[in-house]
Amino acid sequence: MQIMGEHKIGCVVIVEVGDADMKPIGIITERDIVRILGELEPWSNQKSLRTMMSKPVITIESTASLKKRWIR
């Protein structure tokens, strides 16, 4: 939440860091935070990021066209 607030953004992509690259494994959004806070569980802030993030993250190559991606 701190990163989102500081940068005025609505989501953060969670990545797994490898030897030479980073792989997106999830995303945490404002909606996820609202859902978590709505649980009203005092231990919610102790949950791991892996349990809170939305997954899987759907990605496409940066060179792919939207038309090509969405037509199956």
Distance CA 6, CA 46 (A): 22
Global confidence as pTM: 0.64
Fold of 2-70: CBS-domain (3.10.580)
What are the sequence ranges of the domains in the chain?
Answer: 2-70
Beta-sheet pairing, 11-17 with 22-29: antiparallel
Residue 20 near residue 34, CB atoms below 8 Å: no
* Per-residue confidence in pLDDT tens, the chain, 72 aa: 889 999 999 999 999 998 888 888 999 999 888 887 777 665 555 667 777 788 888 877 778 776 755 555
For tokens 């990545």, the residue is 15
Distance CA 7, CA 27 (A): 16
